[in-house]
């Protein structure tokens, strides 16, 4: 269908018999967002919602309650996509975004040790994803233009699964997230 979305979760336990996805398949995921445990306030809210839902089930009043949220029409999603794509990206910001991705492929210009730690950098899909997510970040902030901070805010989630550590870097405890953080620290802002 015109509106298609896949979300996948990876539980850090009970992985016996499962295998990591190949890099080419990982590259097709827009983002790799790491979500930790909720804080006390959120956990308390989870308890309240679960308790209310359980009570509704016992009372026979359970329904498709959206907890006050309005359903989103497909047309609204497409309208939001058009607005996101219409946001202004200055040439300097676009160059900065591209430079981060290029540095993931060849970090030698910035740091020889970092370059040895990166086995594979982000593909052109990474550039596309970084630009789209930076636009969406700016749009959600209510702006009609993208800033370098928008790029920096989404870069870890967009690139951590696309920038792969070398065998030696993995042995030293490096992962894609740490590599992306180092790239962001070294590629100068416009």
Q: What is the pLDDT of residues 22-55, one digit of tens each?
A: 778 877 888 888 778 889 999 999 999 889 888 8
For every residue of 97-148, which 3-state class applies, written as one string? HHHHHHHHHCHHHCCHHHHHHEEECCCHHHHHHHHHHHHHHHHHCCCCECCH
- Distances from the Cα of 170 to the Cα of 54, 119, 177, 178, angstroms: 45, 10, 12, 11
Closest CA to 138 of 152, 124, 126: 152
Which pLDDT value is given to residue 21? 75
- pLDDT of 68 higher than 80: no
Which pLDDT value is given to residue 100? 98
Which pLDDT value is given to residue 183? 97
- Partnered with residue 120 across adjacent β-strands are 164
Q: How does pLDDT run across 83-106, given as a tens digit for each residue?
A: 999 999 999 999 999 999 999 999
Which pLDDT value is given to residue 17? 66
- Distances from the Cα of 16 to the Cα of 12, 20, 26, 119, 137, angstroms: 11, 11, 20, 26, 36
Q: Whole-angstrom Cα distance, residue 167 to residue 171? A: 6
Which pLDDT value is given to residue 16? 67
Q: How does pLDDT run across 114-162, given as a tens digit for each residue?
A: 999 999 999 999 999 999 999 999 999 999 999 999 999 999 999 999 9
């Amino acid at each position: 269908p015109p509106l298609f979305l896949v979300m996948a979760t990876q539980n850090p336990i009970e992985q016996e018999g499962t295998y990591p996805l190949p890099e080419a398949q990982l590259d097709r995921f827009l983002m790799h967002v790491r979500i930790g445990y909720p804080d006390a306030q959120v956990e308390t809210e989870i308890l309240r919602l679960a308790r209310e839902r359980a009570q509704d089930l016992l009372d026979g009043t359970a329904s498709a309650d959206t907890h006050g949220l309005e359903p989103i029409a497909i047309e609204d999603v497409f309208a939001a996509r058009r607005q996101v794509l219409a946001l202004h990206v200055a040439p300097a910001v676009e160059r900065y975004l591209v430079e981060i991705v290029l540095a993931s492929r060849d970090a030698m210009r910035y740091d020889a040790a970092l370059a040895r730690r990166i086995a594979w950098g982000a593909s052109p899909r990474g550039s596309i994803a970084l630009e789209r997510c930076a636009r969406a970040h700016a749009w959600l902030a209510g702006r009609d233009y993208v800033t370098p901070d928008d790029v920096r805010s989404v870069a870890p989630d967009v690139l951590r699964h696309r920038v792969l550590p070398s065998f030696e870097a993995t042995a030293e405890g490096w992962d894609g997230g740490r590599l992306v953080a180092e790239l962001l620290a070294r590629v100068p802002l416009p």
